[in-house]
Structure 1
């Protein structure tokens, strides 16, 4: 017999972050969970361990906590130099495009917003959006830090410093963002202004990001 997961059955100090009560009308049940670990081989070696040992330790811990629990591990591969936070790259790389999902629907119907970082191409619905080099670099920089507020000074230091031409000030960055939003059209609000903080990329349901081959403008 299957049972429905009830967060209230777990003491408040033991509930996982982000746990939500299923809707009362829902017929779904919890069958497990996924933990995305952002850890590359170089960082693991620096800590005196390898990725296989980390995976095995997590499997052993799960078996000790719940004997008989099933585990499955997958390694996320990304093009060298793509930049961004490890955990975000892993999360996107391992997201399952199940039948009927929003991302699969967008990809099949060629509607919505599709940003292909490998091909350096932005498509909105059926139209390829012509972005300048700076606009594409700016959008990619924010996308690779999805959900994080990026100060204007950091954008300047990463994208403009060391390149030919005049280095913009923070007010000039606002101009570049406005131009980018105009080209994004109905998706302009994916680039949000955080008052006193900078800018943040917030994805909508019909926005798909493809991480392909090719370097990132990031310099870490």
Structure 2
């Protein structure tokens, strides 16, 4: 009897076509004092994680790097770790820089909007929109919940952590949305205002979303 063909392994989420996943980085935000309060140490946490990996995937290789930061530096622990370890997205957010990257031939779209979630950029008629990290996050939050109206409170809680210095209120969130829409130019109506409720992303025929295999966070 001939054995049934083995089904191909499913592609990991958010891995663009033409690339392959070779591993992952897990950022753990906890300082030595908090670890001690929890009855452990950073070393014990690292060793426990390595043990779990070895049990689940014996062929996996691991490498641990401790993130060092100046004493008393503010911010959420996990964000400090990402900055200390030179995470590109965290560095762009910290500097307030645009998150766009270089174009390639596949990006030369004759007209319309490309929201590239996998590479964190927006192209308008083939040109980079020049969004800041937070502006892209705001658009991405709406795009991933396409067709659902998101109220201001949810946008704030979903995009700003308790340690952020510039947390907006429900009135100033409108300013952030206006800045985003201004950069979208003639395509600004893809971010629609629902009076008295919040905001919604409406996809038009000239809008292309690239998100690899990442599903909507609202789909269970």
Q: TM-score, normalised by structure 2?
A: 0.48
